[in-house]
Copies of this chain bind each other. A is one copy, B any other.
Amino acid sequence: MSEVKEILKKKNLRVTPMRLQILDLMFHASAAVSQKSIEAKLKDFDRITLYRTLKSFEEKGIIHKIEDGTGLNKYAMCADCDEHHHHDEHVHFNCNKCGDTFCLEDMEPPSFVNKTKHQIEQFNIVLKGTCEMCLN
């Protein structure tokens, strides 16, 4: 728990019980978490505050938002992001069965041959299928 406390302090965010709980939860989560799944675990807290907490975490570069196409925003800890730059351009995987989303930080992102006249600056890649857990 003091590990997440350090993160908050380093980012100049006040250490509150809610923030500690949320960050602790994400720190130990194996998959990316949605706001809904956080709400399910911390039912004493206010929905709006949770939105704002996640927003400020994201702005400070503690977590990154994942658009996995399920319509639900999900969040995961950033390996090495800060408030100036997010390094979250890794591939994500979304399970069609359980809906969980994982960061595939080891997977090499592909390069694209740009035949178009559009200027490509970032990408969002979500692989879909059946996750390790659901296969068994």
Contacts and interface: CB of A to CB of B under 8 A. Distances in A.
A113 to B, nearest CB: 7
A135 interface: yes
Given A67-B69, A107-B112, A108-B113, A123 B118 contact: no
A114 B130 CA distance: 13
Interface stretch (A4-12, A13-21, A22-30, A88-96): A88-96
A116 B130 contact: no
Given A102-B118, A110-B110, A118-B93, A125 B124 contact: yes
Interface in A52-68: 67
B113 A131 contact: no
A86 interface: no
B125 A129 contact: no
Contact of A95 (B71, B114, B118, B131): B118
Nearest to A108: B113
4 closest cross-chain pairs (CB), A and B = A110-B110, A67-B69, A121-B129, A117-B132
Interface of A: 67, 69, 71, 91, 93, 95-96, 102, 104, 106-108, 110-132, 135
